[in-house]
Structure 1
Amino acid sequence: MSSATVIPSVREAVSDPRILLFGRLLGAANGWEHLLGKALQDETGLEHTLFELLVVVGRAGPDGIAVRDIAQARVLTSGGATRLVQRGVQRGFVTRKPSTEDARVQLVNLTEEGERMLLHSSAVHAANIERTLLAVLPEEHRAAFAVSVEVLSREAARALPIMP
């Protein structure tokens, strides 16, 4: 971490470009998550948090993914990830089974219904993202935006502590 510099006045503090940038980033992320999450739920009946669970489990492939790894990927506590997985089990989207290597580890896999819902909801969500979020960016800025978001995401994931 860098050492803090003194900001001499409230006016300068609230107009600091770094603070404005981060506030705008959070505001944009929260706003788009709300808008796109609501559209996803309205069109598919799937909450955005469950959609993200299906994406994380789908990326893991046929061997499944440990609940603790879901927690880390979604920045949740282990209890929060367990509750999210339980909601996915109740909806018939995922299964949970003990690992053959360590029975204390629960592995999560997509069910056929989970795969079907992931495919359907991904098509809806991608179209909504294209139509709303990406549409506000000039075409020539989209690739750089995607690279910048990936860099920020990767760095945040690297810097996060292991979730409890």
Structure 2
Amino acid sequence: MDAETQSADEAQSADETQSADETARAANSRLVQDFGLLIKAATLMEQRIDGVLRRECGISHTMFEVLIRLCRQPGEEVSQRALADDLTLTSSGITRLVDRMETADLVRRVPSPEDRRSVLVEATEHGRTVFLRAAEAHGQVVGRYLVAPLAPADYRRLTTSLTEIHTALRDD
């Protein structure tokens, strides 16, 4: 190998080392690590909640989220479109979910009195009963893994910060 080829190979190797160092620094940056921790914690919490709700109540966490929305106001009926928007599901995704929930007698579809093309969804009596059990189970998991590990002031700061983050994302 001549000196010129060797010098070019050394320069390429140095560039590759520098590039690898830069990518490692980026992958290990505080912002990347902090966001990853947030996502991992949220994912683990979601998995815990979903597992408890499935075992104890026979519903998924997503079904629980639908029931929350339907049980906020007594007698409230919500359009499938609004449910899809609230849960960030596609139109076909909410249709399949409501189908499963209707089969399980958790919800029922009713025609909209204002728009014959629109269908509203409401919780059944059975759905409200399941929701109450699920809310208790959900609260226990959240209490154990989100509230209990933190001092009360830290928990308040966390929820205030999450509200501010949510507002910034929603308003942007």
TM-score by length of 2: 0.80
Match of 1:23 in 2: 36
1:69 aligns with 2:79: no
RMSD (Å) for aligned C-alpha atoms? 1.8
Structure 1 gaps of 5+ residues are 1-7, 160-164
Distance in 1 (alpha carbons) for counterparts of 2:171 and 2:73: 19
1:1-164 → structure 2 map (5 Å cutoff): 9-59=22-72, 61-158=74-171
Kept in 2: contact 1:53–1:84 (CA 8 A): no
Decide which structure has the larger Cα Rg and report it: 2
Opposite residue 153 of structure 1, the aligned amino acid is H
TM-score by length of 1: 0.83
Distance in 2 (alpha carbons) for counterparts of 1:25 and 1:132: 14
Q: Following TM superposition, where does structure 1 have runs of at least 4 consecutive aligned residues deviating by more than 3 angstroms? A: 153-159
Q: SS state of the match for residue 148, structure 2? A: helix
Distance in 2 (alpha carbons) for counterparts of 1:130 and 1:87: 29
Deviations 1:26-46 (A, max 9, x none): 111111100121122222222
Distance in 1 (alpha carbons) for counterparts of 2:122 and 2:24: 52
User: With CA pairs under 8 Å and 6+ residues apart, which has the higher RCO, 1 or 2?
Assistant: 1
The structure where helix makes up a greater share of residues is 2
Distance in 2 (alpha carbons) for counterparts of 1:156 and 1:71: 19
Q: SS state of the match for residue 123, structure 1? A: helix
Distance in 1 (alpha carbons) for counterparts of 2:85 and 2:73: 13
Opposite residue 123 of structure 2, the aligned amino acid is L
Structure 2 gaps of 5+ residues are 1-20
Q: SS state of the match for residue 136, structure 1? A: coil
After superposing the two structures, state which structure 1 stretch, 137-146 or 75-84, moved more: 137-146
